[in-house]
């Protein structure tokens, strides 16, 4: 039975981010409907794209496969903390990420739940 899976990636831990993308790619390859949203501290992972390496490869594969829904707009802006290191809006846009703000500036999940997606949180 094919499933609908939404991978909500919150963690700033590189290993967990890599695995979330690996699992999403695996499920997508098996024919499941997969979407990935970067939320909270996970939005800063886009800074690692310019360094190359495993995550850059996984991100590119997921993007090319059309699995990435986008990133939370508020989180990408640093979650209103004012910390420059957390503001990755320009980097996210440069990486081609859609900034999602359908939940009071944050990335909502109701539309996915209503469409039958199982939410996987990393």
Give every strand in the sheet of 118-121, ordered side by side: 99-100, 68-72, 33-38, 4-9, 118-121
* pLDDT for the residue 89: 87
Is it the case that residue 26 has pLDDT exceeding 80?
yes
- 3-state SS class at 43: helix
* pLDDT for the residue 53: 92
Name all domains of the chain by residue range, CATH numbers in brackets. 4-117 (3.40.1260)
* pLDDT for the residue 2: 95
- Euclidean distance between CA atoms 108 and 111, whole angstroms: 7
């Amino acid at each position: 039975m094919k499933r609908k899976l939404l991978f909500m990636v919150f963690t700033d831990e590189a290993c967990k981010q890599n695995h979330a993308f690996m699992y999403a790619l695996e499920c997508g390859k098996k024919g499941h409907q997969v979407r990935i949203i970067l939320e909270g501290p996970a939005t800063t992972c886009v800074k690692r794209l310019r360094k190359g390496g495993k995550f850059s490869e996984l991100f590119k594969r997921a993007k090319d496969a059309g699995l990435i829904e986008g990133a939370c707009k508020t989180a990408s802006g640093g979650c209103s903390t004012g910390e420059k290191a957390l503001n990755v809006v320009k980097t996210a846009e440069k990486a081609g990420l859609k900034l999602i703000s359908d939940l009071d500036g944050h990335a909502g999940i109701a539309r996915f739940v209503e469409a039958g997606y199982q939410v996987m949180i990393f």
